[in-house]
């Protein structure tokens, strides 16, 4: 990472929901504080939005896309909320995760060639070429697999706990 700034980190933290749309999330503020502290130690510029409605989330994400990020190493968006496979809960209704709503555009990524030499005990492959995308650095983390409840501790969610320790 060679840019002047680490980048921005946006956290959408949901503790409660409109008209009991979903059950409250006690303890999420601890996760949010720990995640904020961890990201600030990594030199991210962190902004936290609490209990935002769907439209307000869309508005903030639109602002983020219109910002010049050319000086940033990377950017991060975290959503601390309830959800299920293919949808997250905003304060007032379901929303699609960003990874599903993002468009890849019309242009093809030309990628670049990487020479790889593999030497194993039983098998040798020399000078094998692979093509990888130029913009290959995307990481999406889910706290659990579909259909499984996330494990929690009394202090915070395990996924945030392990991220802090990394």
Catalytically annotated residues: 82, 103
Cβ density class 50-70: b for 16+ within 10 Å, e for less: ebbebeebeeebeeeeeeeee
In the chain, what is the straight-line distance between the N-terminal and C-terminal CA atoms, in Å?
Answer: 17
In the numeric block, the tokens 């962190």 are attached to 46
The CA-based diameter of the chain, rounded to the nearest angstrom, is 63
């Amino acid at each position: 990472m060679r840019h002047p700034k680490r980048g921005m980190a946006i956290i959408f933290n949901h503790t409660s929901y409109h008209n009991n749309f979903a059950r409250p999330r006690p303890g999420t503020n601890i996760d949010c504080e720990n995640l904020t502290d961890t990201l600030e130690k990594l030199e991210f510029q962190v902004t936290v939005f609490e209990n935002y409605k769907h439209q307000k989330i869309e508005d903030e994400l639109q602002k983020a896309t219109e910002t010049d990020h050319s000086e940033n190493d990377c950017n991060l968006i975290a959503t601390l909320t309830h959800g299920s496979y293919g949808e997250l809960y905003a304060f007032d209704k379901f929303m699609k995760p960003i990874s599903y709503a993002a468009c890849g555009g019309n242009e093809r990524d030309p990628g670049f060639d990487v020479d790889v030499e593999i030497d194993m005990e039983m098998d040798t492959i020399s000078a094998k070429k692979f093509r990888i995308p130029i913009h290959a650095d995307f990481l999406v983390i889910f706290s659990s697999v579909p259909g499984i409840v996330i494990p929690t501790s009394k202090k915070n969610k395990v996924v945030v706990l392990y991220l802090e320790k990394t």
